[in-house]
Amino acid sequence: MLDLRGTGLPTVLHWGADLGNLTQDELSQLADAATMPNMPGFDDVVPRVALLPEHGTGWPGQPGLTGHRQGADWSPLFTLDSVEADGLSVRIRAADRTAQLGLVLEAGLTPAGLVRMRAAVRNDDTVRPYTLDGLMLALPVPDSATELLDLTGRWCRERSPQRHPFNAGTWLRETRSGRTGPDAALVLTAGTPGFGFGHGEVWGLHIAWSGNHRILAERLPAGRPALAAGELLLPGEVVLGPGEEYTGPWLYGSHSAKGLDGLSARFHDHLRARPGHPHRPRPVVLNTWEAVYFDHNLDKLTHLADLGAQVGVERFVLDDGWFRHRRDDRAGLGDWYVDETVWPNGLGPLIDHVRALGMEFGLWVEPEMVNPDSDLARAHPEWILATGGRTPADRRFQQVLDLTHPEAYAYILERLDALLTEYDIAYLKWDHNRELVDAGHSPGGEPAVHAQTLALYALLDELRARHPGLEIESCSSGGGRVDLAVLEHTDRIWASDCNDALERQSINRWTGLLLPPELVGSHIGTARSHTTGRTHDLAFRAGTALFGHLGIEWDLTRASESERAELTRWVSLHKQLRDLLHTGRVVRIDHADPALWAHGVISNDRTEAVFALASVATPVAAHSGTLRLPGLDPNTTYRVRPLPPADHAPGMERGTPAWCTKDGITLSGNVLEHVGIQIPTLHPEQLILLHLTSR
C-alpha cells in the first residue's frame, strides 16, 4: 500500500498481510493512523520511509540515490510528475528540476504475492554529466520485526544461516566479488522474535542481480526500520551523459505470517509461473568430474555412459578437460576448441554413443575466464579485465575475459555457437571460478563489473536464441552465482561443489529459502567425499540428493554391482516422485533437537507427501520424541509408511515405531500436525523417508 498524497515520492504504508478491499476513505484513515507524530528533537514532520529514501525530506538514514556533478546536486529532492497504474503495478515519474534529474519508480505485486520494484534515474542536464554512486530502494518493516536472518558462506559451505538481533544501526552486507557470491545474504529477512520455518511473521528482501550489490537492514531512532538494496557501483562505474539513464535491478520482497516456509513459497510460486520455467521432467544427470577429472579417455567415458544408462541416467555431462591444452587447471581456458591430442576424432564418437543410449549430452564450459597460459591470452592480453598498467593477481591460475570488449564477446559467442552447431549438445554447465577483482576495461582501466554482468546476460540470451531448447546451468565455484536475475537466463543452479551429504543437508535446506527443488542441482557423490573426506552410506547420500534436480557424481566403473543396483532403485524412486518433488509445496520442520532435521514436499492437492528425516549429529536425548508433519489437509486421512530403499537404517532394530512397518499407520492430517509420530532411533548421518498417501 503506497501513500501517493502530496507532491513527494511515495511512502510505503503497509506490505504484508492482506487487509482486504478497503474503501478510499478507509485508505485515507489508514494513512493518517500510520503517520508518526512530531517528536522533540526531530523535524516538524517525522520522515517516513519512501520507496527511494531522500536526505532532502529529512530522512537521516541511507539515501536511495547517491551521486553528484563534481560535488553539486548530491542531495536531490524529487517532485511527483505522474502516476500510471496497471493492474497490480504502478509506474511513478518524478523529477528534481534544480538538480536536473529524472526518476522512474516501478512497483507492484506478482501473482505469487511478491513485491517487485526497481528504479531508473536519468540525467536531464543538457551539458553536464552526472556521476551515479548508488541507487537503492527500501521497504519498511514493523517495529515487531526484531530479529534478522541472512546467509553467509564460502566455497563448499555456501548459504550458512546467521541470526542476530535487529538492533539500532545499520546491518550492511556488500558483495564486491563481481558475482552474487557464496557468502551472499540471498534473502535478508526480518521477523518477529524466534521465527522459524513454520511460525512467526517475516519480511524478506532479495536483489535480483548477479554482480556487485549491497543489501541492508536499518533501524534508526526516528522512523520505521527498513530493508533496502541496490547494485554496488564502483567509483566512476556509471557516469550519465546528457539524456542517459541507468536502470537498477529488480528487488523482490516476500512476506509470510507463518514463518520462512511461507516466505519461500511465494518465491517458489513466482519462479514456477515464469513462461521460461523448465516444465518437462528434469533429466537425471551423470556429471563426469569426480569420475575422471582431467583424464579424458574415450573407452573409459563410453563405459561410464553405459553404466549411467543402466542405472537410469538421462543426461550425460562431460566436464572440464575436453579443450585444447587442458590437462590440468593451469592452462587452456579461452581455447575453446576440442583438443585434437585427446579427441582425434572430435567429440562426435562420445556424443553419438551417449545419444544412442537414449541420453542427452551436456558439456562444461567457463567462457568468462582465461588462463594466462593459453593461446587466447597470448594473442589478446588486452581482452583481460584489468585496471590499467597492471594485470590483476592470478586466482586459480585464471584471469577474467572482458566481455565488454566487442571482439572478445564476438570470439566467445562464435566459439560456443560453433560447438553447439557442430555437436548435438543439449546442455551447458556454465562455470565461473574466479572473482572479479581489479576488474577494469582496457585501455583506461575503468571499472567494468556492471557492464560485464550485462554482457553475460546478453551472451546467454543470444546462445539460447540461436539454439532453442538449449539448457544452461549457472555454476560459479559451486554456488557462487545464485539469484533471480541469472535464473532469467539459465535453467538451474549448481548449489555447491561439495557433494558431501552432511554438508548438502544444510546447503540444500537454505538454498531452498529462495529456489524450488527442481532448480537446484543435487548429486549423489562417491562414498568418500571428494571435498571433505567424510564417508557416508548410499542411503544418506541419495536420500539427501533426492529432493533436488538429481544427478550422479561418481565413477560408476568402480562401484560394485550391489551399489549400482541400489543406485538404480534410488534413481527409479526419484523418477516416481519427480512430479511431486518438483511441483509441490516445500515444508521444513522446526524440531526441538538440532540434531534431527526433517523436511518434505506436499502435493498441491495435499493428497500425497514425502518427508525425509535425517540425523545430522548425535541427538541431545536418547529418546528423540515425536515428529509433527505440518501442511497436510487436516480433514484428510493419510497412510504413513516408510519409503524404500530408505525404509530402514542400522540402529532401528530395537524399538522400531509402529509406522515403520510395511503396512504403516493411518491418521488424519490434523493428528499428524498436532500430535505427530514417534521418531525411530537413528545413528548420526542416517536418513529415512516417509511416504504419505490419502485414503
Helices 561-581, 298-311: inter-axial angle, 10-degree rounding: 60
Please state the φ and ψ torsions of residue 103, each to the nearest 5 degrees.
-140, 140
The reply to whether 279 falls in a domain is no
Please state the φ and ψ torsions of residue 230, each to the nearest 5 degrees.
-175, 175
For residue 508, what is the enclosing H or E element? helix 501-511
pLDDT for position 637: 98
Give 577's contacts (C-beta < 8 A, 6+ positions apart): 546, 610
The reply to whether 17 falls in a domain is yes
Q: Is beta strand 360-365 parallel, antiparallel or unpaired with respect to 427-430?
A: parallel
- Of 480-494, 643-657, 672-686, the poorest mean pLDDT is in 643-657
Structural domain ending residue among the three candidates 542, 563, 581 = 581
pLDDT for position 132: 98
Do 545 and 615 fall into the same domain?
A: no
Query: Structural domain of residue 249, as residue ranges?
Result: 2-272
For residue 691, what is the enclosing H or E element? strand 686-694
Exposure string over 431-467, b if 16+ CB within 10 A, otherwise e: bbbbbbebbbbbeebbbbbbbbbebbeebbeebbeeb
Do 174 and 293 fall into the same domain?
A: no
Radius of gyration of the chain (CA): 27
- Residue 227 per-residue DSSP state: E
For the beta carbon of residue 620, count every other beta carbon within 10 angstroms: 12
Do 387 and 246 fall into the same domain?
A: no
Do 684 and 553 fall into the same domain?
A: no
pLDDT of residue 654 exceeding 80, the answer is no
* pLDDT tens figures, 209-257: 999 999 999 999 877 899 999 999 999 999 999 999 999 999 999 999 9
pLDDT for position 32: 87
Percent of the chain with pLDDT over 90: 89
Do 532 and 427 fall into the same domain?
A: yes
Do 16 and 150 fall into the same domain?
A: yes
pLDDT for position 442: 85
Of 345, 297, 353, 349, the C-alpha closest to 321 is 297
Do 182 and 296 fall into the same domain?
A: no
The reply to whether 453 falls in a domain is yes
Where does the pLDDT of residue 652 fall: very low under 50, low under 70, confident under 90, or very high at 90 and above? low
Where does the pLDDT of residue 42 fall: very low under 50, low under 70, confident under 90, or very high at 90 and above? low
Residue with cell 539513464: 245
* pLDDT tens figures, 66-124: 999 999 999 999 999 999 999 899 999 999 999 999 999 999 999 999 999 999 999 99
pLDDT for position 43: 59
Do 138 and 211 fall into the same domain?
A: yes
Task: Measure the N-to-C terminal CA separation of the chain; round to a whole number of Å.
Answer: 43
Instruction: Write the CATH number for 391.
Output: 3.20.20.70
Do 520 and 576 fall into the same domain?
A: yes
Of 173, 150, 175, the C-alpha closest to 160 is 150
Tally of structural domains, the chain: 3
Q: Which three cell numbers stand for residue 281?
A: 521432467
Between CA 454 and CA 587 the distance in angstroms is 35
Of 199, 184, 335, the C-alpha closest to 257 is 199
For the beta carbon of residue 661, count every other beta carbon within 10 angstroms: 12
Between CA 205 and CA 225 the distance in angstroms is 13
- Whether 661 and 631 have beta carbons less than 8 Å apart is answered as no
The reply to whether 9 falls in a domain is yes
Say what the alpha-carbon torsion angle 482, 485, 491, 496 is, to the nearest 10 degrees.
Answer: -10
Exposure string over 37-68, b if 16+ CB within 10 A, otherwise e: eeeeeeeeebbbbbbbbbbebebbbbbbbbbe
Do 238 and 101 fall into the same domain?
A: yes
DSSP helix/strand/coil, 545 = helix
User: 546 — alpha (psi -120 to 50), left (phi > 0) or beta?
Assistant: alpha
Residue with cell 485414503: 695
Do 552 and 649 fall into the same domain?
A: no
The reply to whether 85 falls in a domain is yes
pLDDT for position 45: 66
Structural domain ending residue among the three candidates 526, 560, 581 = 581
For residue 588, what is the enclosing H or E element? strand 585-589
Where does the pLDDT of residue 267 fall: very low under 50, low under 70, confident under 90, or very high at 90 and above? very high
- Could you give the residue numbers annotated as active site? 431, 497
Instruction: Write the CATH number for 638.
Output: 2.60.40.1180
* pLDDT tens figures, 270-307: 999 999 999 899 999 999 999 999 999 999 999 999 99
The reply to whether 278 falls in a domain is no
How much is the pTM?
Answer: 0.97
pLDDT of residue 262 exceeding 80, the answer is yes
- Whether 562 and 529 have beta carbons less than 8 Å apart is answered as no
The reply to whether 277 falls in a domain is no
* pLDDT tens figures, 613-626: 999 999 888 777 89
Instruction: Write the CATH number for 233.
Output: 2.70.98.60
Average pLDDT over all residues of the chain: 95
Where does the pLDDT of residue 41 fall: very low under 50, low under 70, confident under 90, or very high at 90 and above? low
What are the Cα distances from residue 623, in Å, to 262, 431, 596, 671, 682?
A: 30, 45, 12, 21, 10
For residue 539, what is the enclosing H or E element? helix 538-545
Helix, strand, coil share of the chain (percent; to 5): 20, 30, 45
Structural domain ending residue among the three candidates 244, 272, 300 = 272
The reply to whether 193 falls in a domain is yes
pLDDT for position 612: 97
Exposure string over 410-423, b if 16+ CB within 10 A, otherwise e: ebbbebbeebbeeb
- Residue 510 per-residue DSSP state: H
pLDDT for position 650: 66
- Of 402-416, 452-466, 499-513, 614-628, the poorest mean pLDDT is in 614-628
What are the Cα distances from residue 475, in Å, to 365, 497, 671?
A: 10, 9, 43
Where does the pLDDT of residue 36 fall: very low under 50, low under 70, confident under 90, or very high at 90 and above? confident
Q: Which three cell numbers stand for residue 20?
A: 482486504
- Whether 13 and 31 have beta carbons less than 8 Å apart is answered as yes
- Whether 668 and 638 have beta carbons less than 8 Å apart is answered as yes
Between CA 235 and CA 439 the distance in angstroms is 12
Between CA 576 and CA 172 the distance in angstroms is 44
- Cis preceding linkage at 443, omega within 30: yes
Do 514 and 421 fall into the same domain?
A: yes
